[in-house]
Structure 1
Amino acid sequence: MWSVPAGGDSEPVPHRPLPEERIAPRLAGHPVIDWRIADPHIKGETAGWSYAANESVCLATLSITTPDANAADLARHVYRQLLDLREALGFPHLLRVWHYLSDINAGEGDAERYKRFCQGRLEVLQDHPSLLDRMPAATVVGSQLPGLHLQCLLTRTPPQPLENPRQVRAYEYPRRYGPSRPAFARAARMAWPGAADQLFISGTASILGHETRHPGDVAAQLSESLANVATLLETAGEPFAGRGLTTLEHLIVYLRDPGDIDTVETVLADRLPPGLAWTCRQAELCRRDLLVEVEALATA
């Protein structure tokens, strides 16, 4: 189990965790990697959100299972609620957000559900310009459960958003990727009071500049994704830089076709530090030509 740093024992939270095995199932034999909050003294539910917090961080989840709902409307609804929740709880900064959207690739052109989701999210964030300067690390992948499902980490002190010099900032993607750009940082560095810094690495794929590389080749896409992760660790500076992937606490792989798992295991056996915990989940990805995506947590 994994936790944001704090003293004492940890316990599973929030009270109603996301049904991850129905959203993005783990492939057989792969371990559970989830989030726990140490010493939670604030717990509750409101407007469908379930949350728990200690002095430093709040973990909140929301699951909306409305079938066939407009993805832009879903994004507007949940982000308005999320921004209200952070103010009400006194955790005003978005550190890390996970989004699971059903039928993420359905629709053609600007009507694709992922592009509509990006449209709704950005419309809300544009009403809060300060958030556009401090966008959170994020993942958006497909869900096998209808609707939109969120899990997020909120903090009292601001994280440091980071970009990848190998990639165009997502917020500056050209128009061909949709009418509204994706609104997230490639990673976020968090300086926890009295604990080691952590680097939260967003969903990271085989993208250089703004273009997908190695279409049709899952091994090459995974290797390129890991190169992007390594670059983010270098960009984060000391003490992450210069240590390769050894500061990683865990890695999560999202795989479009579970039949590619043997290839994934071969690549990771060669590239990851010995003993690093990783797991693989089946999910559709934000671009139809992406076969694999990874996210990671690193601790200084």
Structure 2
Amino acid sequence: MSQQTVNFPNTFAEIYGFENVESAKEYHMMIHVKNFMLPFEEQLQSLVDTFYEVSSGLAGRPQAVMKRYFLSDAANQAGLVREINSDERSALSIIQQPPLDGSKVALWAYLVSDIEPTSTQSGTSVVFKRGKYTHLWTGGLSNEEKNSQSQTALIFKRYIKRLSEFDMTLERDCTRTWFFVSDIDNRYSGMVRARNDVFDSCGLTCDTHFIASTGIGGVQQDPSIFVQMDACATGGLDNGQKHYLYASDHLNRTSEYGVRFERGTYIDYGDRRHIFISGTASIDHKGDIMHSGNIINQTNRLLENIEALLKEADASFDDLAQVIVYLRDPSDFQIVRKICSERLPAKPLVIVHAPVCRPGWLVEMECIGIKKTEYPEYDSF
């Protein structure tokens, strides 16, 4: 693996590369604006220019699979983001979660070499195949039903139909979801009820498994949209390739307090392990909030929890390829950035303003890891 930061006049890019393999090379990239005096259109264009310049120089000439834009004002900015990405084949996610470094926009991009991605459903999904595996990444699923519960139910209905087009199912093949909920303190419960109902209908229980997930505050361009879902799924896995992470000495099962998602999931391929850590906060093994009101201690505790989940996957912070940090209070940015720079140096990382699903949680973090492994009984990624 490699980590590097590339500087440009108006931007800088943090890049994690999983390159030293014979099969596909993978990259996670976080691009940040550093010239805050530029108007939004110029900040956005600088990000896009940086993405193309950096990606064109990466080994294997990788293709973008997923792009997520973090915006400061979706109502006035999302349209231009869609316009400037109209020819992209990657799945596109756009959400108002203001970057807390002072910029108007930041970009996370996931890229894979040696693929021919195919865009589906007007660019909200991209599918690519490698060997026996089919990978489907989806961004920006939403609708205008009357409340968060009915919107979530329809999102799942449409997503399940999309999965079926590739001979996949939610319960077998979906690995990771992200839910962005506007006014999360009031609308999160509706999203959870709908998700629980869907899982019941699919036979997903605490005795089988759930799906790794983040449920976090986020605002769409259209104020009538209360919920957006992004997701990734992989079809063609053998029994035993997908595993779930619990770290039960640090965390409890989410079903114990009425929500249903896995703390983490990892997939073993013949040459690597993909690790998806769900949104993780300062919580103990009983499900109680730890260090109420103390941002330093909450940040350190969530890092301890993530470290325990990674350890269960025989991984560590060194294997992290991407990190997103969500803060309820923007004034905590400098403190959290300092802790992250000390504990997770040089990682592709972005810190955004997004309330967590419980008001007592001041900070939440999610991440994706890639670890080199050898499992000859499985096909390579």
Q: Same fold, TM exceeding 0.5?
A: yes
- How far did residue 250 of structure 1 move? 2.2
- How far did residue 167 of structure 1 move? 1.3
CA 37–83 in structure 1, closer or farther in 2 if over 3 Å, else same: farther
Higher relative contact order (CA 8 A, sep 6+): 1
CA 168–254 in structure 1, closer or farther in 2 if over 3 Å, else same: same
SS in 2 for 1:18: strand
- How far did residue 293 of structure 1 move? 0.2
- CA–CA separation in structure 2 for the residues paired with 1:284 and 1:160: 29
Q: Is the 8 A contact 2:242 2:266 kept in 1?
A: yes
Q: Is the 8 A contact 1:18 1:149 kept in 2?
A: no
Match of 1:109 in 2: none
- Residue 95 (structure 1) aligned with residue 175 (structure 2): yes
Give the TM-score of the pair, scaled to structure 2: 0.66
- How far did residue 228 of structure 1 move? 0.3
- CA–CA separation in structure 1 for the residues paired with 2:90 and 2:338: 37
- CA–CA separation in structure 2 for the residues paired with 1:118 and 1:197: 29
- CA–CA separation in structure 1 for the residues paired with 2:246 and 2:216: 20
Correspondent of 1:221 among 262, 285, 298: 298
- How far did residue 3 of structure 1 move? 8.6
AA in 1 matched with 2:92: P
Q: In the TM superposition, what whole-angstrom CA distance separates every residue of 1:10-34 from its partner, at most 9, and x where no partner exists?
A: 32345561213xx212223686323
- Residue 25 (structure 1) aligned with residue 98 (structure 2): yes
- How far did residue 65 of structure 1 move? 5.8
Match of 1:187 in 2: 264
- How far did residue 76 of structure 1 move? 1.0
- Any gaps of 5 or more consecutive residues in structure 2? 1-14, 26-59, 66-88, 372-381
- How far did residue 264 of structure 1 move? 0.5
Q: Is the 8 A contact 1:2 1:34 kept in 2?
A: no
CA 3–35 in structure 1, closer or farther in 2 if over 3 Å, else same: farther
CA 87–37 in structure 1, closer or farther in 2 if over 3 Å, else same: farther
Match of 2:348 in 1: 277
Matches within 5 A, 1:90-239: 90-92=167-169, 93-106=173-186, 113-130=187-204, 133-145=208-220, 146=223, 147-156=226-235, 157=237, 159-165=242-248, 166-173=250-257, 181-192=258-269, 194-208=270-284, 209-237=286-314
- CA–CA separation in structure 1 for the residues paired with 2:17 and 2:233: 14
Between Structure 1 and Structure 2, whose CA radius of gyration is higher? 2
AA in 2 matched with 1:262: Q
Match of 2:318 in 1: 246
- Any gaps of 5 or more consecutive residues in structure 1? 107-112, 174-180
